[in-house]
Structure 1
Amino acid sequence: MYVILVYDCGERRVAKMLKLCRKYLNWIQNSVFEGEISEVRLKKLLYSAKEFMDESEDSIIIFKGPNHSSLEKEVVGKERCSIDNFL
């Protein structure tokens, strides 16, 4: 599946969340990631995140779709990390 993940964490946890999300997805912009990921790997990412999150203050929002072509992406301004899909 294709996901866009957005997080909002307390300042002391931002670096941990960034490092964790970079293991699984492509970094697009501050606190925003995208990419193909299996359901199992997504659950593992969320399980790991919950180990250091403060769920009363922090949040993760995930937009899911069957594949990247089911979403239209438009970038206005500089694209931080262009994603090339090739085999």
Structure 2
Amino acid sequence: MYVIMAYDVNVDRVVKVLKTGRRYLTWVQNSVLEGELTRAQFEHLKSDLRKVIDPDQDAVRFYVIKRDPCFSKEFLGTTKNEPDQII
């Protein structure tokens, strides 16, 4: 599955959330990571993030895209980083 993770967290936890996400996904833009994960990797990512965030103040959103030929990406402007794995 292809996962896009976007987060909005307290400034005190931004670095921890980014480092946790980068263990599984590729950082592509401020507060956005993406990449191909197995179901087990996705569950580990969510478990690791639960240890870092404050659920009363922070928000992490996942967009999960199953293998489907209708998925495509388009960019305007510069890109900061590109994942090596694309559907």
Using the size of structure 2 for normalisation, the TM-score is 0.88
The answer to whether the 8 A contact 1:36-1:67 is kept is no
Structure 2 unaligned blocks of 5 or more: none
Give a deviation string over 1:2-52, Cα, whole Å, max 9, x none.
111111110000000000100100111011011100111111111111112
Q: Go from structure 1 to structure 2 and tell me whether the alpha carbon gap of 1:33 and 1:70 turns closer, same or farther (over 3 Å shift).
A: farther
Look up the match of 1:32.
32
Alpha-carbon distance in 2 for matches of 1:13, 1:77: 28
Look up the match of 2:48.
48
TM-superposed CA distance for 1:69, in Å, is 4.8
Look up the match of 1:61.
61
Report the identity percentage: 34
Using the size of structure 1 for normalisation, the TM-score is 0.88
Structure 1 unaligned blocks of 5 or more: none
SS of the counterpart of 1:64? strand
